[in-house]
Amino acid sequence: MTLLDPRTPSSSRQNLRLALDKVYSNFYALVPTGGITARRLDDILGDLRTQADDGSQQFKVSANPGSVNYWQAQGGAPGVGASLSVQGSETDANGSITAKGTGYLAFGNGAGTLLDVKLSGAGPVTNYWSIEAIGGTGMARLLAKSGVNTNVSMYISAQGAGGMTFANSSGNLFAMDSNSSATARSNYLYARNGATGNPAVLGATGDANTDILFQPAGSGVVRFGTHTGNADAAISGYISIKDSGGNARKLAVIT
């Protein structure tokens, strides 16, 4: 059993008080079953020790005079998970978990790591992700935010030649696949909105001259526009396109 010397610094004494409070709260439950033996006391205090047997520090609670908000750990009944929550006298109180230096935070379960949050490049951090639930709208959003920059871009990347799929409960909505046969993937699509009276843009960028290929599945074809019959009109010119095989074609234009 390891107890802290009350002559140690205040943070350690606070941990001792927490441990003794736990002894007190469990005292009456233990007496009917044999009382508090040295072993039972060690069982109660074991998880609250701030030092391992070799003297290395395991946990520390820092004093913050005037605090009104605090962390609360609570166990769960069968079928209900344990919880760690922010409590206090304020109606709305934030919680903060911070790694040291450029270290990262990892979240997981018994199967392994589910999420890690890292800093890419050198600090300080000015732009960051924000995950928000919008009350009363049924909507949640993922935002790029900043306390410094007016315009903050977002970068989302799959690993290796992996693709990305966006879906809801009804199925896939949109998928982006990588051209895994290409050693250099410098050409790609971009989408841009348009001001009032101007079109939205779906474009290609990369090489100085880059085609866009619309590739239907199987015997499907590309659909666009609305047909208007006008058999007697004269051809006034053409629009150049390419077919799926890359062969140049000309679409006739009538006046």
Residue range 161-178, pLDDT digits in tens: 888 999 999 999 999 988
Say what the pLDDT of residue 122 is: 76
Would you place residue 62 in the very low, low, confident or very high pLDDT band (cuts 50, 70, 90)? confident
Q: What is the DSSP string of 96-118?
A: ----STT--EEEEETTEEEEEE-
Helix (H, G, I), strand (E, B) or coil at 155: coil
Residue 44's pLDDT is what? 47
Q: Break the chain down into helix, strand, coil percent, rounded to 5.
A: 15, 30, 55
In the block, residue with structure tokens 């998970």: 81
Which tokens in the block code for residue 95? 């919680």
End-to-end CA distance of the chain: 96
DSSP 8-state assignment for residue 91: S
Length of the chain: 255
Mean pLDDT of 83-112: 93
Q: Nearest CA to 211 among 254, 176, 246?
A: 246
**In the chain, where the domains are located:** 1-61
Q: Is the dihedral of CA 211, 215, 221, 223 positive or negative?
A: negative
CA distance 63 to 65: 6
Least confident among 51-65, 85-99, 208-222: 51-65
Q: Mean pLDDT across the stretch 216-234?
A: 88
At 148 the pLDDT is 84
Q: Determine the distance from the C-alpha atom of residue 35 to the mean position of all C-alpha atoms in its chain, rounded to a whole number.
A: 49
| pLDDT at position 58 | 79
pLDDT over 90 at 43, yes or no: no
Span 46-74, average pLDDT:
79
Model confidence at 48, pLDDT cuts 50, 70, 90, reads: low
Q: What is the predicted pLDDT for the residue at 244?
A: 84
Place 203 in a pLDDT band, splitting at 50, 70 and 90. very high
- What are the φ and ψ backbone dihedral angles of 58, each rounded to 5 degrees? -110, -30
Closest CA to 237 of 220, 212, 254: 254
Most confident of the following: 25-39, 141-155, 172-186: 141-155
**Torsion angles phi and psi, residue 153, rounded to 5:** -80, 160
pLDDT the model gives residue 128? 87
Degrees (nearest 5) of the Cα angle 13, 14, 17?
90
**149-158 long-range Cβ contacts below 8 angstroms, 24+ apart:** 152/127
